[in-house]
Chains A and B, each alone.
Chain A
Amino acid sequence: MALNLDSSNVATRENRIGSITGYIGSLSDLAEKSQCGTLKGCSRCFSQSSTCLSSCALGQLSAIRDIAIIHHGPAGCSVASAGSYYLDKVMAKKRGVTNNTVYVGTDMNENDTIFGSAEALRDIIIEVNKRYSPKAIFVTSSCATGIIGEDIDSVVDDVKAEIDVPIVAVHCEGFKSRIWATGFDISDHAVLSSIVKPPKEKRNTINFKNFYESARPEIIEMFKEFDLEPIFLYCNSTVEELSHISESLATTCICGTLGNYLGNGLEEKYGVPYIRTINPLGVAGFETWLREIGRVTGRSEKVENYIAKQREIYIPQIDAIKEKLKGLRAVLGMGPGYTFEVSRVLNELGVEVVWALAWHYDKKYENGDVPPSMKYLLENDVDFEASVADQQNYEVMNILKKYQPDLYLSRHPGSTVWAIKNGTPAVYVADEYMIFGYKHTLEFAQSILDSINNRSFEKNLARRVKLPYTDWWYQQNVDKFLEEAGK
């Protein structure tokens, strides 16, 4: 990719890597069309609400310790600050550190949309800096400030002389992209352009991009065996830590959608290799990923020893549970960083994927390749019906009603409950490490089994509730509202 750290603006995923949010067909067709360049995303003439890219961007940045986020916009935009305050406190407490990050809004009103509020914003930045002495300041825009042309870049440039920590403008207009993952890129761009410094020395560290570092202790333990030290990003990261990530031996990520921009950026700018394998979920994923880390960091032998030891413990247990999962049919809906990875794991466990929804789809990654998770499935002759829909719940419900799978798996808040109302058992794959490595793959298989074996909750609820969609909708094809769709 062409990284331009001199500009505070990041091109959207749609424009940069041809990402789409509307498609219905099959996995093989999706891959074929992406490879030959004929894939065109569809739009919808009816849609339900999804997610704002600013939630992803600022969710990432606000997890960094002791920084300030100044969200310039109406109170609804900065409402995420309430959730961040809570998350920052509990994540720090869990880890045994303190986090004094502040996330404030500017409560922009109607007058501000007419006359602008650059001066007020300037004062707010100075005041926040005075109150909290943050280690870095991110000044971010909103739809309203974007449209009226509020020049946050100039405000930031203007206060730089008075503020002795990194301060950067972060462009977060929600209308820019339907792909909320663009927000991840925006946060990476802000970190790369304002905090990361050129390397002074190489360290035996590995950058590990994740969400909430729940598997941190065990990953530290594992990497110790390879004489590697993981640096988890960005939850509980310090600005000091981040300034050194260019000195790491490699960058890896629990979710390709999340880490793609940072990984490629560090590789392009500072030559830090980015591990581009399938993700460490399931057996094949974990082993492929570990071996690549071994290769890139020159630790292949140690990695092979580790794999051999772990296989002895876990493979027999995983094989045993596979017997019980055989024949189950699943539908899943997740971000593309997970959909095609979890599909692979389900296939590995003997669960048949009948339909996979990805909340968006990146035609290619920043380096121009088809996403590795797709490639793997195709090379292993796995195919299923697939669609791309930005959490369009009515499409999910249409699919669930028609296919009546044994199981629905989803990763986003508010999505599993609808499957349950349909009477379909649901597994909420919330934690990014829920299927990580051998141990969690086993746990994942077990939790599928437990969900299938007691369906009381969903049966009780489904019997009593009415679904909010009309019979008319259930009689339609799922692509009813896609425009320019190949029917």
Chain B
Amino acid sequence: MAKLLDKQRYKCALGAMQTVQAIDRAIPILHSGPGCAQKLSDSIGSSGYFSPNIFPCTSINEKDVVFGGVKKLDTTIENALKVIDADLFVVLTGCIPEIVGDDTGEVVSRYREDGKPVVYASTAGFKGNNYKGHEQVIDAIIDQFLEKSEEKEKGLVNIWADVPYQDLFWLGNIKELEKLIAEIGLTPNTIFGYKNGIDNIRKIPKAEFNLLVSPWVSLTNVKKMERKLGIPYLHYPTLPIGAYETSKFLRTVGEFAGVDKDKVEEVINEHENYYYYLIERYADLFLETRVMAKQFSVVADAQYALGITKFLVNDLGLFPAKQFVVDDTPKQYRDKIKEEFENLNYDIKAEVSFETDGYKIHNEIREHDYHGYPLILGSYYEKEVTGELDGHYLNISWPVQDKVVLDDFYVGYTGGIRLIEDIYSVAVQRFN
């Protein structure tokens, strides 16, 4: 049912056009009103090979609402294939065609039968948010583009993580995850980011397993691939940030993939040596920065709320106040995620609230006693309330107005160090 979305932190399912945008040389074709792409795009970092203002769009008008927009969709796809130099065209439906009943699937299947690289995902805005839309796009690729492969490539692992563009650090994170996986001797395959496009999509069925690094996003996708393509999956629910979680992550992946234990330990050891070389040198900063208190809250999607909470507790020894998961996590996943928040060192249990109403979140932050300057990691909306409380604020989740990220990342050993740099850069400037 309709609900009050006060301080909105996600987009609608059609926002998955950004998922398509993150696949190299793939372009969405929108069967929607003329302005959906413009609304759903972010104004910085969107001018890549394709940008939202060149996404083909049927630009549905009043007449199409009455008579249907199938013919317009047909000419739009036909001409997009002529005008645009792309490897994959993903037709995405907005609200209108799905309410008036356009048979988009039928139009698209004709192109596919002709051997054209066109798939279709149902992403009407009312069907869910862009986290769900992201899953829809991946499902569409699995269902309409991929076949089961008997031939497997030794050590090949498909990596799936959270939602491109919605996640500020998506590009850097996926690259770092690939790097870590490669270091333990596996061959990573991802379909998002630099040079990751149609060839990587084609390689998906040959993988030995799917590695999902996300609390819940894409769980349906890896399950579908297990059923349809016979690819088993490893679900690692925590985005590994910092040494504690990243080492655990590598051990888990290594064990699942049957990688030699010594090899994994060697990689971990090398990383931890450097990591603690840095931490040791800066331990004075962590202990003696007078304006830093111990308690923090994260206001973010499940991925960052969980990943950062684990990092700050298990690596840096901070203490969790209440954490807020704002991605409208589907109910069936919430208990499992809650368990993860309660699985911290020294039996520390972080209280977590699945809440999409920013007004309530801000009131809870105001009412909590952080016993010092609160540390709030969240969206741009948290800037003002943190300011009221004289706290430290870092913009890590959408909407983002306080940070420019080209390929920075928080995942892994290096990512943990980057996050520390960001937090303490805020702290040291706090009263400058």
Contact = CB atoms under 8 A, between A and B. Distances in A.
Partners in one complex: yes
Interface of A: 45-55, 72-83, 85-86, 89, 102, 104-113, 117, 120-121, 124, 127-128, 131, 142-144, 147-148, 174-178, 180, 390-391, 393-394, 413-415, 417-418, 465-466, 468-470, 472-473, 481
7 contacts: A53-B35, A55-B38, A79-B8, A80-B39, A104-B5, A414-B41, A470-B83
A49 B59 contact: yes
B35 A75 contact: no
A74 B40 CA distance: 12
Interface stretch (B50-58, B264-272, B418-426): B50-58
A49 to B, nearest CB: 4
A105 B43 CA distance: 20
Nearest to A174: B33
Contacts of A113: 95, 99, 126
Given A81-B7, A104-B5, 8 more contacts: A73-B95, A81-B5, A85-B7, A106-B3, A107-B3, A112-B1, A143-B94, A147-B100
Contacts of A469: 83-85
Contact of B15 (A76, A120, A175, A465): A76
Given A49-B52, A414-B46, A472-B83, A109 B2 contact: yes
A468 B84 contact: yes
Nearest to A89: B384
B242 to A, nearest CB: 29
Given A144-B125, A469-B85, A48 B1 contact: no
Please name the 4 residue pairs, one residue from A and one from B, whose CB atoms are nearest each other, closest first. A52-B35, A76-B12, A74-B125, A46-B79
A339 B356 CA distance: 42
A138 to B, nearest CB: 16
Contact of B35 (A109, A117, A180, A413): A180
Nearest to B50: A468
Contacts, number: 239
B289 interface: no
B82 A472 contact: yes
Nearest to A420: B47
B35 A78 contact: no
A131 B7 CA distance: 13
Max chain A CB contacts within 10 Å: which of B3, B40, B56, B380? B3
Given A76-B12, A85-B381, A86-B399, A50 B59 contact: yes
Nearest to B99: A147
Contact of B79 (A45, A110, A390): A45
Nearest to A398: B83
A82 B9 CA distance: 8
B349 interface: no
B49 A466 contact: yes
B10 interface: yes
Nearest to A128: B4
Contacts of B61: 175-178
Given A86-B380, A144-B126, A148-B99, A468 B8 contact: no
Nearest to B399: A82
A176 B2 contact: no
A51 B35 contact: yes
B28 to A, nearest CB: 9
A104 to B, nearest CB: 5
B359 interface: yes
A344 B150 CA distance: 67
A174 B54 CA distance: 19
Interface string B58-69: 111110110000
Interface of B: 1-15, 27, 30, 33-41, 43, 46-47, 49-62, 64-65, 72, 75-76, 78-80, 82-86, 94-96, 99-100, 124-130, 328, 356, 359, 380-381, 384, 398-399, 401
B35 A48 contact: no
A34 to B, nearest CB: 22
B126 A414 contact: no
A148 B125 CA distance: 14
A91 to B, nearest CB: 13
Contacts of A73: 95, 125
Contact of A47 (B56, B356, B359): B56
A53 B41 CA distance: 16
Contacts of A120: 1-3
A473 B79 CA distance: 10
Contact of B2 (A48, A112, A174, A414): A112
A3 B398 CA distance: 41
B79 A76 contact: no
A55 B43 CA distance: 14
Given A78-B8, A144-B95, A46 B30 contact: no
A82 B1 CA distance: 22
Nearest to B129: A75
Contacts of B128: 109
A109 B5 contact: no
A175 B65 contact: yes
Nearest to A390: B34
B29 to A, nearest CB: 10
B72 to A, nearest CB: 8
A163 B275 CA distance: 59
A107 B27 CA distance: 27
B79 A82 contact: no
A107 B356 contact: yes
A414 B72 CA distance: 25
Contact of A147 (B52, B58, B65, B84): B65
Contacts of A417: 47, 51
A201 to B, nearest CB: 39
A469 B40 CA distance: 23
A75 B96 contact: no
Contacts of B14: 76
Contact of B54 (A48, A147, A472): A48
Contacts of B1: 109, 111-112, 117, 120
A55 B39 CA distance: 8
A117 B127 contact: no
Given A46-B83, A53-B35, A107 B2 contact: yes
Contacts of A107: 2-3, 5, 328, 356
Contacts of A390: 34, 59
A325 to B, nearest CB: 28
A171 to B, nearest CB: 13
Nearest to B56: A48
B60 A131 contact: no
B55 A47 contact: no
B132 to A, nearest CB: 10
Contacts of B27: 468
A151 to B, nearest CB: 14
Contacts of A127: 4
A397 to B, nearest CB: 9
A178 B34 contact: yes
B39 A46 contact: no
A334 to B, nearest CB: 14
A88 to B, nearest CB: 11
A50 B76 CA distance: 14
A311 B129 CA distance: 56
A376 B283 CA distance: 70
Given A47-B59, A105-B5, A77 B51 contact: no
A51 B130 CA distance: 20
Contact of A52 (B7, B33, B64): B33
B35 A55 contact: yes
Contacts of A54: 35
A391 B38 CA distance: 11
B3 A49 contact: no
